[in-house]
Amino acid sequence: METGLAGKGVLVTGGAGGIGSACVRAFAAEGARVAIHYRTSRDRAEELAREAGGVALQADLTVEDEVGSLFEAAERELGGIEVCAAVAGFWPREDEPVWRLPLERWEETLRTNLTATFLTARAFLGLVERSGHGSLVLVGSTAGRFGEAGHADYAAAKAAIQVGLLLSLKNEIVRIAPRGRVNAVAPGWTYSPMTRGELDPDFVSRLSRTMALRKVAQAEDVARAVVVLASDELSGHVTGQLVTVAGGMEGRTVHADA
């Protein structure tokens, strides 16, 4: 099916990560010109850029000036940015209930997820204001829908992204782009470098009790949803929507066995 993404400039934040790199490959497969953002994973980003025929660009997304410079460089390298996939995020591994959660970790998690996504969206919409068109896809998490014990900081950040920020931006973007769209994807547990070491078979068996499709997602499952939402051809009348890619996960147990 034609996505209409061929020749369009796409910036993927967190493009060197598991879901990010799958998004880069999926956009490149549609003929898009892709900028791959990274913070520390330079080698992976540059290798992926060679593979996808794109460009690797470094920035710390929690630093306002660096985000601005990232978008300036991406626009210059690609000749324009029509799509932004805000994939970058951070999940702290340590299980810390709120009564033991340090303020430092709370603030860091919100900064690397919510603030980084805000700065990314703001910079992209600055370009949209000039061009009059654009599609933004935010990446949240099922933690933002159902909560996640031991990770209230992460759940709070993702909930803010995929509810408050998403629903505000879908109304704001049309002030500067009549057909501009903002949507979001909420992945569940997904095989990626961020979850490496966490998804042993016993853990998967326990967590999948809440899932109709009893398996962990691949990064490509999430990337396909991102591409569909980014495409004006496939979802041109879809905005402000959250697509959950989690095998039918619910906030209750579906399967009785462990």
Strand partners, 34: 10
Cα–Cα distances in angstroms (integers) from residue 6 to residues 30, 84, 232, in the given order: 6, 15, 12
Residue 145, both tokens: 């829908």
CA dist 84 and 12 (Å) reads 6
Residue 20, both tokens: 């990010």
Cβ proximity of 258 and 235 under 8 Å: no
Q: Strand, coil or helix: what is 13?
A: strand
Q: What is the 3-state secondary structure (H, E, C) of 133-180?
A: CCEEEEECCCHHHHCCCCCHHHHHHHHHHHHHHHHHHHHHHHHCCCCC
Least Cα distance to 135 among 221, 36, 234, 38 occurs for 234
Catalytic residue numbers read 154
